C-alpha cells in the first residue's frame, strides 16, 4: 500500500497527542484530499473519475461510512464524493478501509492532478461526437501512475467533453480534450491554461484534431511544462493559467508543443475499452397505474438517450447533500432498475444513465415510498448550485449553501405566481445561477449567466455579508464566455432572494417568449443591475 497512508497515520497520531497541529497535518493529508473543516472535524474526499461508481462499490462505501461514524456525504461540482464531519481518530481507518475496497484518495487535493472530469452525457447523448469516457478513463489510469503529476506547483484539473456545446467547459480546464472527428477518425481539440477562480480565464487551443492515441503524450507534456514553469514561490499565481498569462498565448502554445515533441510515452498501452452495454439493463412488466405527480416527475427527471426504450434518470439531490443510508438505498435502486451505474453530475445530482422505459414507474414508486423520498420531493422544487460554503470550508467567506437554499425557496414561491410557466422555463432559470462563498469559484459563478461571489462589505460602519454580481458567462465550448463583475454594486446576502426575484419576475413578464433567462441577463449587463435593486456602494 502507498507509504503516504502510513505517514498519514503517524501524523494523525502526532496530532492526537498534541505533538503537532492540524496545520502540520495538512502537509500530508491535503494531497490525499483530507482537510480540516471549520468545526474542527474533517472532510475526506474520494476520487471518482468521471463520477461513475458501480452500485456494488457505492454499497461498500456506505459500509465504510457506517463503520466509522460518518453520516454526512456531499457531492461536488467536479464529480467527487466528500465525506464530511469525520473525526480525526477515524480518518486513517476510513481511508484504509476505503482503499481496500478499491477507492482512491491520492490526488484528492493538494498540488496534484485532481479528479478527472467527464461530460456526463457523453455515452448517451445523441448529439455527442463520440463517447469520450473510455479515453478519459484510460488517461486517468495513466496519470494515476505518473508520479510527476503529484508534485506540481499547484492543482491541475483535466476534463473530457463530447463535442456538444451545452455545458461544455473545455475552455475552463487546465487541460481539456473536446471530441471531434477528423477524416472519420476519433480525435480531440485540446485546450490548456483555462480555469475558474482568482483571475479566471479561458484556455487556448493547443491542438486541432489531435489523434486519440496521442492524449497520453499530450497530458504528460502538460504536466512536465507545468512542473518546470509553474510558480512554486507564489501560490496565488501558481496555476497553469498564470504560466499562460506570463508567457502570452503564442509563446505558451509554442512551449507546449515543444514539450509534446520531447515527451516519450511509447510504453503506454494506447487502447480504449467499451463502456455500457444495453443488454445488461433489466426490463419489467408494464405498469399503468400512476399518480398525478408521475408525469411532472418524468418531465423534470428523465431524458432520452438515443437508444430505443432506454432513458437517463436524474435524481435531484438538494444541496448535493446525502446521508449514509441514502448511499445504501441508491446502490440497491441502481442495481435493481438500471445498468448498475451511479453517475455523479456537475450539478451535484445523481444520474442513472441507462434505465429501461418499463423501469421508470417502479423507480418512481421506490422514490415515493422508500428511504429516498427526499429526492422525489426535490424534483418538484428549484435547485441552485453552490459550493459547500463557509459552514464547512475554512477558506469560505459566506455560507453559500445556506443562501442557495434560501434563493431556491424564493424562486419556488415566485413560480407559484406564474401557474403557466413550464418545467423547462423553471429549470433554465435556476440552471443559469451559480453561487460561490469566496473568489475561488468552486460554485462556478465566474462562468455563469448570473453568478454571485460571497464577500464582506462595510455598510455604514458595520461589515455585512454581501454578494458581488456577475453576468454574461456561459460554458458552450468555443463559444464560452467568462462572466463580468458588476462594478460598485453589491447585494446584501440577506436580500439575495429579493434581488433575483426582481430579475426573474421581469424576465417572466416580458413579451419575448423565445429568449432564455441567460440571454435576458446578458442583455441587461452588469452596468444596469441597480435597476432591479437599489443598493450601491463604492469600494473601500
- Among the ranges given (81-90, 378-387, 460-469), the one the predictor scored with the smallest mean pLDDT: 460-469
**Nearest C-alpha neighbor of 399 from the set 323, 348, 444, 454:** 454
Higher per-residue pLDDT: 460 or 484: 484
Q: Looking at the predicted structure, is the pLDDT value of residue 313 above 60? A: yes
pLDDT of residue 274: 56
pLDDT of residue 118: 99
Query: Could you say which of 3.30.450.20, 3.40.50.1220, 3.30.413.10, 1.10.260.40 is the CATH number of the domain covering 117-262?
Result: 3.30.413.10
For domain 385-531, give the CATH number. 3.30.413.10
Q: What is the pLDDT of residues 345-366, one digit of tens each?
A: 999 999 999 999 999 999 999 9
Helical axes 240-247 vs 249-262, angle rounded to 10°: 120
Q: What is the pLDDT of residues 362-409, one digit of tens each?
A: 999 999 988 999 999 999 999 999 999 999 999 999 999 999 999 999
Q: Looking at the predicted structure, is the pLDDT value of residue 269 above 70? A: no
Per-residue burial over 135-156, b if 16 or more Cβ lie within 10 Å, else e, is: bbbbbbebbbebeebbebbbbb
For residue 316, the Cα-to-chain-centroid distance in whole angstroms is 14
Q: Counting every residue, how long is the chain?
A: 540
Give φ, ψ of 79 to 5 degrees: 70, 25
Q: Looking at the predicted structure, is the pLDDT value of residue 512 above 80? A: no
Q: What is the pLDDT of residues 229-267, one digit of tens each?
A: 999 999 999 999 999 999 999 999 999 999 999 999 876
pLDDT of residue 538: 44
Q: What stretch of H or E contains 518? A: helix 517-524
Burial (CB count within 10 angstroms: exposed 0-12, middle 13-18, buried 19+), residue 261 = exposed
Say if 117-262 and 385-531 have the same CATH topology.
yes
- Which spans in 74-155 are helix H? 91-100, 133-144
**Nearest C-alpha neighbor of 352 from the set 53, 49, 131, 34:** 53
Count each helix (H run) and each strand (E run) in the chain, helices first: 16, 20
Q: What stretch of H or E contains 467? A: strand 462-471
**Nearest C-alpha neighbor of 229 from the set 246, 249, 216, 207:** 246
**Which cell numbers hold the place of 379?**
424534483
Query: Could you say which of 3.30.390.50, 3.30.1490.20, 3.30.70.3340, 1.20.120.1200 is the CATH number of the domain covering 291-378?
Result: 3.30.70.3340
- So where are the chain's domains? 3-100, 117-262, 291-378, 385-531
Q: Looking at the predicted structure, is the pLDDT value of residue 64 above 50? A: yes
Q: Looking at the predicted structure, is the pLDDT value of residue 537 above 60? A: no
Q: Looking at the predicted structure, is the pLDDT value of residue 290 above 90? A: no
Percent of the chain clearing pLDDT 90 (strictly above)? 89
Report d(CA 370, CA 389) in Å as an integer. Answer: 30
Give φ, ψ of 287 to 5 degrees: -120, 125
Higher per-residue pLDDT: 512 or 193: 193
Q: Looking at the predicted structure, is the pLDDT value of residue 1 above 70? A: no
CATH 3.90.480.10 fits 3-100, yes or no: yes
Q: Looking at the predicted structure, is the pLDDT value of residue 279 above 70? A: no
pLDDT of residue 528: 77
Mean confidence (pLDDT) of the chain: 94
Q: Name residue, grid cell 514539450.
A: 259
Amino acid at each position: 500500500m502507498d507509504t503516504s497512508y502510513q505517514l498519514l497515520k503517524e501524523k494523525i497520531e502526532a496530532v492526537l497527542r498534541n505533538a503537532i497541529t492540524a496545520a502540520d497535518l495538512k502537509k500530508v493529508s491535503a494531497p490525499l484530499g483530507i482537510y480540516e473543516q471549520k468545526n474542527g472535524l474533517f472532510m475526506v474526499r474520494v476520487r471518482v473519475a468521471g463520477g461513475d461508481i458501480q452500485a456494488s462499490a457505492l454499497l461498500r462505501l456506505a459500509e465504510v461510512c457506517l463503520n466509522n461514524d460518518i453520516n454526512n456525504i456531499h457531492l461536488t461540482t467536479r464529480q467527487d464524493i466528500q465525506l464530511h464531519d469525520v473525526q480525526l481518530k477515524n480518518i486513517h481507518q476510513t481511508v484504509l478501509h476505503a482503499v481496500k475496497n478499491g477507492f482512491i484518495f491520492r490526488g484528492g487535493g493538494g498540488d496534484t492532478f485532481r479528479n478527472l472530469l467527464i461530460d456526463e452525457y457523453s455515452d448517451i447523448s445523441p448529439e455527442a461526437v463520440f463517447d469520450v469516457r473510455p479515453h478519459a478513463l484510460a488517461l486517468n489510469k495513466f496519470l494515476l501512475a505518473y508520479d510527476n503529476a503529484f508534485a506540481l506547483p499547484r492543482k491541475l484539473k483535466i476534463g473530457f467533453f463530447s463535442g456538444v456545446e451545452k455545458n461544455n467547459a473545455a475552455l475552463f480546464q487546465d487541460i481539456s480534450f473536446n471530441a471531434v472527428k477528423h477524416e472519420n477518425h476519433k480525435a480531440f481539440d485540446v485546450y490548456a491554461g483555462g480555469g475558474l477562480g482568482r483571475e479566471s480565464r479561458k484556455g487556448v487551443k493547443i491542438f486541432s484534431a489531435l489523434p486519440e492515441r496521442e492524449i497520453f503524450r499530450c497530458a504528460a507534456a502538460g504536466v512536465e511544462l507545468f512542473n518546470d514553469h509553474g510558480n512554486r514561490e507564489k501560490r496565488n499565481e501558481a496555476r497553469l493559467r498564470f504560466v499562460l498569462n506570463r508567457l502570452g498565448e503564442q509563446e505558451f502554445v509554442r512551449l507546449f508543443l515543444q514539450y509534446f515533441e520531447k515527451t516519450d510515452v511509447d510504453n503506454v498501452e494506447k487502447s480504449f475499452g467499451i463502456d455500457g452495454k444495453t443488454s445488461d439493463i433489466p426490463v419489467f412488466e408494464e405498469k399503468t397505474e400512476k399518480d398525478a405527480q408521475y408525469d411532472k416527475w418524468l418531465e423534470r427527471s428523465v431524458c432520452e438517450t438515443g437508444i430505443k426504450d432506454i432513458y437517463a434518470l436524474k435524481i435531484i439531490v438538494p444541496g448535493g447533500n446525502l446521508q449514509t443510508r441514502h448511499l445504501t438505498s441508491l446502490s440497491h435502486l441502481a442495481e435493481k432498475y438500471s445498468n448498475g451505474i451511479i453517475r455523479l453530475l456537475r450539478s451535484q445530482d445523481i444520474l442513472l444513465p441507462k434505465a429501461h422505459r418499463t423501469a421508470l414507474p417502479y423507480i418512481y414508486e421506490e422514490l415515493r415510498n422508500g428511504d429516498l423520498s427526499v429526492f422525489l420531493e426535490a424534483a418538484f422544487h428549484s435547485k441552485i448550485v453552490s459550493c459547500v460554503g463557509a459552514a464547512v470550508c475554512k477558506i469560505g467567506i459566506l455560507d453559500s449553501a445556506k443562501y442557495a437554499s434560501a434563493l431556491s425557496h424564493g424562486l419556488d414561491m415566485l413560480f407559484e405566481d406564474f401557474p403557466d410557466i413550464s418545467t423547462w422555463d423553471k429549470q433554465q432559470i435556476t440552471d443559469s445561477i451559480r453561487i460561490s462563498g469566496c473568489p475561488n469559484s468552486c460554485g462556478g459563478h465566474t462562468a455563469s449567466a448570473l453568478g454571485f461571489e460571497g464577500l464582506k462589505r462595510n455598510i455604514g460602519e458595520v461589515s455585512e455579508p454581501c454578494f458581488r454580481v456577475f453576468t454574461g458567462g456561459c460554458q458552450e465550448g468555443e463559444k464560452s464566455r467568462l462572466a463580468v463583475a458588476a462594478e460598485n454594486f453589491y447585494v446584501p446576502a440577506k436580500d439575495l432572494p429579493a434581488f433575483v426575484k426582481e430579475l426573474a419576475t421581469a424576465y417572466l413578464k416580458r413579451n419575448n417568449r423565445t429568449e432564455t433567462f441567460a440571454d435576458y441577463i446578458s442583455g441587461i449587463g452588469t452596468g444596469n443591475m441597480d435597476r432591479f435593486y437599489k443598493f450601491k456602494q463604492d469600494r473601500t
